Every structure is written in C-alpha cells, then in structure tokens.
Structure 1
C-alpha cells in the first residue's frame, strides 16, 4: 500500500465490465466490482478522516457503456465507441475527496455484455489526466499514484507497453496493480490452465519488472490491508529561539553567549478521533459538523444525578458571566482576585541554568513530549557553537538544565537537554521536567515484614509469601519470558513496539468507516488482526508455563471461582412500572419480599447468601471475591435473621446458625476480619442470653468457637487472651 501524505494525487482506475459483476462462488460472495468499490471507498475515507487538505482523488472507469475522458470525445450510452479510448469515463476529475466522491462509487454498476476496454488504454488515459496542466496536479512536485484494478483474463495489446513504461518512469508515477484471479505474484510466472491468462500475466510482468516503484497485489489482499492500521508520519514545524547562558544583563560581555537554535517535535501524542468529527446527514450526501455548546450545572446536583428520580437542570447561559475563577487547595476553593492575576515578565528563549550529571536524571521526571534542539540551518556560526557544546556535554556525560519560555509573557518551563552526537549532526533532545514543588516522594511499607498495632515486626505472616511461594513464582515469571520467543528473526524477541498499534485509535477509525459505508449494518466487523496481534501470549509460552502455573495455584492455595450455576440467584431490583406493564404493585411487593426472605444480598456486589444453606455459599464466596468485608457483613445479617426466625416462628434454625458461626470464625481468622467477628459475637450473645440461655450454650458448644484470640488471629489485630475467650463462653 502506497504511502499517502500531503500534496498527493491518487487516481483509481476501476474495471466495470460485465465480468466484474459476476458474484464469486467461493468464500466472499460479493462480486469483484463490489469488492473494488469497497476497497476504493475505504482508501478515500482514510484520506478524508486524516484531514489531508492537499490530497486530490481522481476516479476513472473502463469497460463502461459511456465515454468521457481527455483522449476521446464524450459518447453516450447508446452510441458505439469511436476510438481505442472508448468506454473510459472520468467520473470524478482530480479534486479533494468528499462524500459526493463516495456516492459516485456507490452508483457504479457493471456494464452490459459486449463492452470492453483494454486496461492499458485506461492506464494511458489516467496518465494523461494526471499530467495535463490545470486538470491534474497543481504542480509537478506533487506525488502521483495510480491504482489499476483489473482481471487476470482481461485481454491486453502489448504494443504500447514500452511507451507506457517510459511515461510512468519519466513522470515519476507510482503504479499499483490490483488483480482479481491473478496468482499470488505475477512476477513468479506460475503456470496457469489457460494459455491466454498466462500470456496476460507475463505482459504485466514485463510492465512492472523495470519500473522502480511499481507493485502488484491481489485485490483480496489490498482489501484486507485497507482496514489495517496506517501510520501518518507528520513533519514538525520548527520554532526558532535562542539558547543563551551567562548574564543577560551584560549581553556584550565575555561570560555571555547566545546560539540561534530551532526546536522541533520528536514525538507526537496520537489520540482517537473525535466522535463528532464526521457525521452523516439524513440524506447521506454531505458531511456536517455537529454544533456543540458549553452547558453548566451545579456540582451538588450532578452528585445525585445517577438516580433516575433526580435530574440536574442546566444553569442559564448568562450565568457564566458571574462565575469566578478559583484555586483548589484540597477541598478548599480560593477565588482568584484581580490583583492575583499577574502576567509574568518573561521573554521568549531557552536559558541554560547549569549542568547535571547524566546519572542523576530519573526517567519518571519525563513530562510530556520529546523535542529536538538543533542549530539554525542558515547560521554556520550557530552550527559550530551547538555542535561544540553537544560534543563537550557528551564527553563529560552531563545534561543541561534549562529554563524554556515559548513566547513572551508565557509561563516558564523547566527542561532537560540531553546531548546526542551522530556522524552527520550533533544536537540535543529536550524533555520537560517537574519543579521541586511538583514532586512528592511516597514511603511504602516494606514487603518482607509487617508491623502490628503493638509495634511488633513479624517476618512470617499470612500476607507475606513464603520462600516456597517465592520460588514457584520465580519459575512462573521465567517461563513467561518472551525474549527467547523470536517470531521476527531480528533477535528482539516476540514483542515489537513498532508493530504494536493502539486499538482505540485505529479501531475507532475503522468503525467510523464501516458505519459510513454500511449505515444499516447491525454489527461492526472484527478488529484487524494487526490490532490484536499482541493481545494474547504466544502458544509456546502458554504450553511451557501451564504445569508451573498449576503448581503455583497449589502452593498459593488458589480456589477456583464457583460456576455461575452453583451461585444462588441474585435478587432483582424492583422494576419500574410502565404503561404496558401487566404487573401490579402488590404483586411486585410480594415477589420482592419473597426474595429478601430467602437470601441476604452482599452489599456492593451481585452475590447473595441464601438462607437455605448460607454457610456453604459463604465459604465459596469469601475465597473468590475481593469484597470480603461485605461478605462478612452479610453473614452477620444471615445469623441475626435466622435467630429472629427461631424466636418469632419457632423454626428450627439452630443447626444453620452453628454452621454459619463456624464458617464465619474460620474466615475471620484467616482473612484479617477478627475484630469484626469479635464485635459481632458480643452483640449476638447479648441478644440470645436475654431470651434463651440454653440456646447460647448449645450454639457455643456445637460450633466450637468463641472470641478469636491473639494467638489464633493471623492478622494480629486483636488483643484477647485464652482466659478472656473462655470466660466469654460462660453465660452471665
């Protein structure tokens, strides 16, 4: 696929003969003409979405029933072609592509039987159209590209091959031939069943072999490449400034020097295209830009806007005039007064402050994009000065700390200049670094020990991996090394940063293209394989790490997540009533009450603990969720619900309460929930002993649990002795 940039004229020459309308019998059932229109439309949309203002497109069809080109007079459909350039029609002269260009493509249909045009004649007409003054490119300096779409069995007259080849070479036109029914490459001269087809393949070989920038590809491959990610290489506009060091008060002194330099971008942030950049009108004939306006809301109302019953009302448009700017310090807003808006008295320039050793620069200080600082190409003095400075800094391995002001009265920036010395040029790479007030150091607790509330340091703890666990994890990490899986043959390993594309950028662009071409499509196509290339690990790495991963799961006691069918159904929210709803409020209340009676919902999740068998569900849940505290709270509600059921209805829930308390006890000792369990058990005892002392003795005897002591608490968060736990079991 040719690279399309600024100042480029692209001509698509499309075969619309009757044979191009015959549908395929295998694989893609679309006809060759439909696939050609799809490819050309995708390429035109790519130019439009890039916003290339100096790109022009020309559309030419051949094998048409009509004639309209620069080499033959216009002929209507019912007239017979009067020359060898008959049946060639320029349906879109060289111009900036618009939605009308796409509409012309959609209107293409195969011609009636009997109409045929030599593809070489169509190629000649395209060359003349591109190179004719005031019709093709505005200037000979433009890049010119021709895409010729043809068929393998299309007859050709080779008498003008040399003339066409010389024209393409002298006018520096890049030719791309897209063929239907061709072998993988016509240059291979593979044998075909039909002698005529083999002869035509050889003729294409003769045409393309000697052209320096001519390429051939099957139409199927090019159509897939049209959705592949494309890289838009942009040129940075240089900004002229002055690199100074010394005392600005004495610019004529010996201790002051100024070097004329230029600043260029070395990298550019690529973001996904705006979703309102391109929009179709209802008639589908033109582009329109969606009008946007700024609307203000009260922050207090937006906080409650998630509830359907509360709707935030926008403030009047004239209210923006009464707004005050403010600085935010924590939760405090300080209004900006007029005397606080001070315009800095800065002057544009790059002032060198001092040099620092290269080892002292930390990579996390890098802010924003990277820039190149080069000497002014028009000043030999500046080139010698900057080259000498860069070489001296490189020899001493030092970086230059600078104060950069982009324009007069702008805020200053602190930048770091790193020297680079190549064979042909010496320059600096500039990055922005933070000020001292922008950097904060965070102290994290050590990973090899924990400190209890009493100040004791523990080297063995449930949250600290054991030596065996660390050894198994080291083996797993080593088995997942991708550097020895080289699929490119370049020694850089499996991953290639240059071939890793952002799906958010290219996937959104392809989605816009697809919906633009197929407005009524229900679903979007899958992402191109180039976008998902590095989404999954290589199969070889997966296979060699499978056994080690199972060993890690065993050593770390990882529990498999319970299957969905093993989990109890989650209670549904009460549905809102609508005009077409058959349910009544009383029926909804009955269903909701039944669900709330049968299960307790875990706060903040979709999980529930069924009252029929809560202990089993709780044991599975706490080892498969991150909401451990919420699950323990739900278990407390379950125990109190079972207690109320027994006291009120006389139901036999004693065994279930024993199982719940025991399951809660085991989880609390292991998962750092001991303080919450002890507080729960104290509340539970206070409620039970008021009504049934025998029940308390039965529960504590059969569940074999009391308060969690300091010795049994793996988190060491409680201070309860064995004597206190034993005394707690006795009824007051």
Structure 2
C-alpha cells in the first residue's frame, strides 16, 4: 500500500506578487504558480485517495479560515481543505487563486494555520506531512522568538517537512543573488532561512524550482509480489534430499506506457446524451459527468453485437448471443473454432510452483534469448532459514559461473513458463534475476546472405563484386563509426572523460511529454502547450562538437561509397510529355505503331498493359478508355471472387490506377470510378455482400484523391472523410 501524504500549499497572492522583476515577461505570481500547479496536477494525475492536498492563500483581500477570530490570522483564506483534489476542484482553484489588492498578512500565522490543519486531519496516523510556502518575502512577518520556538518544536515533533520557496531569494549554491534588495525583504528572507534550517526543512529560490520542472520526475513504485511459494530442486514429496526454499518474486523492470485516451460524448440540452454508431453512453452513478468549457461530457462504452449468416433472417443475418459462440484461433487465414468442453480437455491443469529443472554454464547462454521484462527472486523476509538457503544457492551459482533453468507457474491454472535464474551479488544485497526463456515455437530463425562474399549457384565464392564493400569503403565506415563514438564523449567537472548518455539521464520523450501536456492543459485549457523541454530533446541528435569532429570522416565515407543526391520525385507530369530517348537511339513505341490505337486490356495482365496504354496515350480520350477498361476488369474480379480470393489483386490494381492518374493530373477520373464502385458494392450489385472489399479499400488508404495529393483535384480532406464514413 502506498504511503499516505498530506501537503498544505501556502501561496502568497499579495499585490506585490502581481509585478514583474528580473526581466521576466510574466508576473511573479504567474511564475511561482508554475511550480504550484505542476505539483498539484501531478498528484491529481495519480488518482490516489491517499494523496491529500490543502491550499491556503496568504495576503488575500478577505479572511476565511478556522482561526479567523484572532487578528493575527487576518488576510488568510482557505482555498482548499485537506482532501483529495479532483478535476472539478482544480478548475475551481484556478478561478479563485488570483493576485489580491493588499500586502497585509503574516506568513508565520499561515504556517501555524497549516500545522493546525494537518494535525486535525492526520491526528496520530502515519502520514507524510509537508508544508510548502511560496512567497516573495515582502510585507510584515511576525518574528516573535517565543512563538517561533513553539512552531519549531511542533514541526519537528510531528515529523513535518517545511519547504520555503522564495521569489528571487539568494542561493549561493544555485548561483543567484538579487541586487539592490529592499531591507524588509532581506530581513524576512534571513528569518525564513533560519526557521527552515531549525526545522530541518528545505529553503530555496524559485528560479531553481521552476528550472527543475522540466526534468521528469521518476515515480517510485511499491512492488507487489507476483509469486509467493517455494523454489524447489527435486521433488520434496518423494525425496528427503530435495531442496525447497520459501521465496517471493517481484518485478525488476517494467515497460512504462503513456496513458491512453478516454472516450467521451457530449450531453444534449435535454439531458439525454448523444450517441454515435458502435457506442452506448454509460448510465448510472458510477459514470462521472465532466464539465469542460461550458459543455458537459460523459463517459461512453462500446456495445457489441454478434451475427451469423442466415438466409431466412431479414437481411441475411441473424443476431446471436455471445454465450452461444465458440472461441476461434487463427491458423494462417483459417479460423479454427474450439468449444469450451474441448478447451477444458486440452488445457493443462497446473499448480503454482517454481522448480529448477537444470543448470547451464554462463558462457553457453546467449543474451538474445531473454524475453519480456525481468523479475527478482528473494527469500521470504521473515524466514531466516530460507534467507540462508537461498544465499547458499546464489553464491554457488556465482562461484561456478552458472545459471539455473526453472519452470514457473505463477498461480494455479496459469500457463507454465521456462525461466533463467542468474545470480546477482552486491555489497549489501543479493538475489536471483529472472528472465523468461523462449519455447521452440517462439524462436524464429532467419538466414541472411553473408555481407563479405557472394556464393553463386555453382558454389563459387566471389569476394569482389559491385554489391560488396571495397576495402576503402570498409575502412572509411570503420573510421566514421569510431569518430561517432559517444561512450567517452562527455566530460565531468574535473575534465575527465565519461559516458555521454548515462542511463539515469535518458528519459522517454513520449511518456514524459504527454504527462507534461496533461498537467499544463489541466490548468490552462485554452492556452497552447509549451515547446518540448530541452532535457527530452538532448539525445535526439548527436552533439554539434561530435558532428564537427566526425565531418572529415563522413566526407571520406561519402566519397568511398559514391553517394549521390537523389533528385526529388515529381508529383505530377504533363500528358504531352516527351518519352526518354533510349541509348540505342531506337524508339520501341515506334516499332509497334501498327497496333490498334486503343488496345484492349486483358484481365490476366491488366497492370502492365494499363501502364503501357497510358504511356502511348495521345489525348484524354485514350486515358478515359484505359480507365474505363480497368474499372470493368475490377468490377468483374470482385463479382467473380470466391470469398476474398481476388481482393488483394483488386487493391493492387486500384493502387496503380490511383498513382498513375495522380501523376497524369487526372484525379477526377479515379474519383468518379471509386464513387461508382462504392455505390455498386453497397447496393450488393457485385456478387452479393462485398462490404469487406470496401473496408479493405479504406484500410489500404485508396480513397479519393484530394487537393493535398493533387493540386488539380477539387476534393477536400473533409469530403474524403465524409465519403469514407458515409454508407
């Protein structure tokens, strides 16, 4: 179970926070709220009910708190009591946390009020307690020594963490010092620094806190065991000499995936949610209506219907219940059904276990055999006998340079897996690292020809060929690879060579960029997302210094490989183009002028003949005739297709037509043909039900040619979407 946390943010919203300093383009308030919003939205995104947040406003125009009767707590407003914050609360806070018109309010009184809130909420329960004060250090602060000692004693006694972040506070370690600082701010800053140090808290400048927001924060995951049982060598039920150790299995590495998008629909003014094809609005108290930009959204869920062919049913299909269906497994393009009774017979009845089945020398194991994520196996924490036994096994494998091969079943009824257990011995920690091994069906062996020789059909070995690299090319490539080496490119503070891309400094751009965009849009729904932080783009390309050093080697490689720039592909070509003259000086087309001007395209060799016909076309009528013939051939192939046997051929023909007519700048001909083809398919005029053919056309992106593909087309992208969606 994750630790419980209670955090109170004290935000200075005084009039002085509405000004700009140090050449910043935004006010001190907006600059400081970057940090506050980032921290709050990070907690909201977790969805944990044990992460409680409270927000106090310091130097507000009014007063609203539990101790408001005391004048010392004037101009302090409770914006959010300590509780779990959800998106509606976040939107409300965005509207109420704004700069005020006064600078009256005591920061120490706000800290006392935060302590009172935490004690009232957490009592004596186990919580991580934190108070975060964000202020510019201006205005009056009560520095009474007697009350200050009581505050320090209470914070330290209840294990609270005090964090003070100041606008333009001096920080020698970070390297910032504000020039011409007002005397009152200097006094307040020194007082807050002394208070924080006596509370063993954190005192810092806001510049460093805002700068570090771009650095992704690694989320600490509390591991959950996936197996708890025995690790055996031999059968303990049959032999007294068998080895049995009580162990636990925890994940070591897991794939972190970005969050997926959720589906919502817009509720109508009448209160009834609008529906779209294939979705049903989820009703009930468990579905949360979400208010955004004045529109109410609600969750949706998919609804599935199952049909089978039935000539007697209306439309030729009959609805069936899911329970009446049998599972099917794909074998190539064939679906093999299996009933529940047959599946129960073939299913292996397994019991949870982890059994060592053999050992393998370390040098005989190939690292590429490891599959999926890895786990660790440790002894039960409270079982001293198991700890000693597993430690003996780990050290035996370590000293013999050997791995153990085991069979694991995570729980009763699960599929068994083969795993490799390798020892890991560190200074104060030891365990077995588990990697999944492949079965014979998981191994795919591919044979590739050698890159340093060519073996002819007769068995002759050729080492010099136009497709083989020369010695100069191989040496140039080797030199270029050496120049691009980044393993020792970086330099530390002492100037020593080090690794450029350390594992702990490399972050997933997709994962963390999406998280940053979510946090930004949660509080700024109408503002554009800021650019990608430099820390995520740092390793997206080679360092400029490295590129400069490797440029001479690259030039030698280009020369050795005879690299030439490929001319850009011409999107369109004129109909009345001149054919390229062959080197022989003979024009092959002139030799066949005796053939009919409009040759008939055969269905057996349609694509080459279609291209040849377009190449010989002299006017638009010739092109129209060729397109008309191809359309007739395609319709006949669909009509005569047994199932989907001719669909791949039709897709290839449509692709060629689309490409050729785009280059000829005649997209209208293709669009007209496709519109007519869709009408006939939907009307079932091409041999009955052929909707699968239309879905294949859409899936292979063979829809209408729009203006983006051809400048002479009159079809927009919106019209293409409507054409694809229309039935």
Structure 1 length-normalised TM: 0.69
2: CA distance, partners of 1:289 / 1:504: 27
2: CA distance, partners of 1:362 / 1:233: 32
Change (3 A) 1:126 1:642: closer
Unaligned runs of 5+ in 2: 265-287, 309-314, 584-606, 623-727
> Residue 154 of structure 1 aligns with which residue?
139
Deviation at 1:186, TM superposition (A): 9.1
Q: For the Cα contact (< 8 Å) 2:306–2:322, is it kept in 1?
A: no
> Residue 536 of structure 2 aligns with which residue?
531
Deviation at 1:228, TM superposition (A): 3.4
Q: Does the residue aligned with 2:489 lie in a helix, a strand or coil? A: coil
Q: Does the residue aligned with 2:96 lie in a helix, a strand or coil? A: coil
What does 1:148-297 align with in structure 2 at a 5 Å threshold?
148-160=133-145, 161-184=148-171, 190=177, 192-193=179-180, 194-218=182-206, 220-238=207-225, 239-250=227-238, 253-276=239-262, 281-283=290-292, 290-293=299-302, 295=304
Q: For the Cα contact (< 8 Å) 1:59–1:92, is it kept in 2?
A: yes
> Residue 575 of structure 2 aligns with which residue?
597
Q: For the Cα contact (< 8 Å) 1:261–1:374, is it kept in 2?
A: yes
1:9 maps onto 2:6 in alignment: yes
Q: For the Cα contact (< 8 Å) 2:168–2:178, is it kept in 1?
A: no
2: CA distance, partners of 1:248 / 1:15: 68
1: CA distance, partners of 2:56 / 2:72: 16
Q: Does the residue aligned with 1:291 lie in a helix, a strand or coil? A: strand
What does 1:522-601 align with in structure 2 at a 5 Å threshold?
523-562=528-567, 568=570, 570-571=571-572, 597-598=575-576
Q: For the Cα contact (< 8 Å) 1:355–1:400, is it kept in 2?
A: yes
Deviation at 1:145, TM superposition (A): 1.8
Q: For the Cα contact (< 8 Å) 1:227–1:528, is it kept in 2?
A: yes
Change (3 A) 1:297 1:229: farther
> Residue 355 of structure 2 aligns with which residue?
351
Q: For the Cα contact (< 8 Å) 1:118–1:157, is it kept in 2?
A: yes
> Residue 382 of structure 1 aligns with which residue?
386
Q: For the Cα contact (< 8 Å) 2:236–2:243, is it kept in 1?
A: no
> Residue 327 of structure 1 aligns with which residue?
329
> Residue 668 of structure 2 aligns with which residue?
none
> Residue 366 of structure 2 aligns with which residue?
362
Q: For the Cα contact (< 8 Å) 2:130–2:161, is it kept in 1?
A: yes
Deviation at 1:327, TM superposition (A): 2.9
1:411 maps onto 2:415 in alignment: yes
Structure 2 length-normalised TM: 0.70
Q: Does the residue aligned with 1:391 lie in a helix, a strand or coil? A: helix
1: CA distance, partners of 2:451 / 2:325: 49
Change (3 A) 1:434 1:288: farther
CA distances 1:147-202 after superposition (whole Å, capped 9, x unpaired) = 21101433423224444333333322222222223334599895742333322332
1:442 maps onto 2:446 in alignment: yes
What does 1:38-187 align with in structure 2 at a 5 Å threshold?
38-73=34-69, 83-108=71-96, 110=98, 113-132=101-120, 136-137=121-122, 139-160=124-145, 161-184=148-171
CA distances 1:609-634 after superposition (whole Å, capped 9, x unpaired) = x6487999xxxxxxxxxxxxxxxxx9
Change (3 A) 1:638 1:236: closer
CA distances 1:346-375 after superposition (whole Å, capped 9, x unpaired) = 111111112211222221111222111111
2: CA distance, partners of 1:368 / 1:286: 43
Deviation at 1:232, TM superposition (A): 0.7
> Residue 32 of structure 1 aligns with which residue?
28
Q: Does the residue aligned with 1:147 lie in a helix, a strand or coil? A: strand
Change (3 A) 1:360 1:8: same
Q: For the Cα contact (< 8 Å) 1:400–1:417, is it kept in 2?
A: yes
Q: For the Cα contact (< 8 Å) 1:68–1:90, is it kept in 2?
A: yes
Q: Does the residue aligned with 2:138 lie in a helix, a strand or coil? A: coil
CA distances 1:253-285 after superposition (whole Å, capped 9, x unpaired) = 323232111111112221111211899834459
1: CA distance, partners of 2:250 / 2:322: 38
Q: Does the residue aligned with 1:530 lie in a helix, a strand or coil? A: helix
1: CA distance, partners of 2:61 / 2:500: 53
Change (3 A) 1:509 1:62: same
**Over aligned residue pairs, what C-alpha RMSD do you find?**
3.7
> Residue 434 of structure 2 aligns with which residue?
430
Change (3 A) 1:636 1:344: closer
Q: Does the residue aligned with 2:378 lie in a helix, a strand or coil? A: strand
> Residue 341 of structure 1 aligns with which residue?
344
Q: For the Cα contact (< 8 Å) 1:185–1:217, is it kept in 2?
A: no
Change (3 A) 1:513 1:244: same
Where does structure 1 differ by over 6 angstroms across 4 or more consecutive aligned residues?
186-189, 277-280, 285-289, 296-299, 612-616, 634-644
What does 1:706-717 align with in structure 2 at a 5 Å threshold?
none
Change (3 A) 1:112 1:44: closer
1:474 maps onto 2:474 in alignment: no
Deviation at 1:468, TM superposition (A): 0.3
Q: For the Cα contact (< 8 Å) 1:241–1:349, is it kept in 2?
A: yes
Q: For the Cα contact (< 8 Å) 2:307–2:318, is it kept in 1?
A: no
1:501 maps onto 2:534 in alignment: no
1: CA distance, partners of 2:538 / 2:130: 30
Deviation at 1:345, TM superposition (A): 2.2
Q: For the Cα contact (< 8 Å) 1:486–1:492, is it kept in 2?
A: yes
1: CA distance, partners of 2:489 / 2:219: 30
How many matched pairs? 562
Change (3 A) 1:128 1:396: same
Q: For the Cα contact (< 8 Å) 2:214–2:535, is it kept in 1?
A: no
2: CA distance, partners of 1:222 / 1:615: 70
What does 1:612-691 align with in structure 2 at a 5 Å threshold?
none
Q: Does the residue aligned with 1:334 lie in a helix, a strand or coil? A: strand
Change (3 A) 1:95 1:230: same
1: CA distance, partners of 2:295 / 2:407: 49
Q: For the Cα contact (< 8 Å) 1:8–1:144, is it kept in 2?
A: yes
1: CA distance, partners of 2:318 / 2:537: 47
2: CA distance, partners of 1:596 / 1:644: 12
Unaligned runs of 5+ in 1: 74-81, 300-312, 572-594, 599-609, 617-633, 650-732
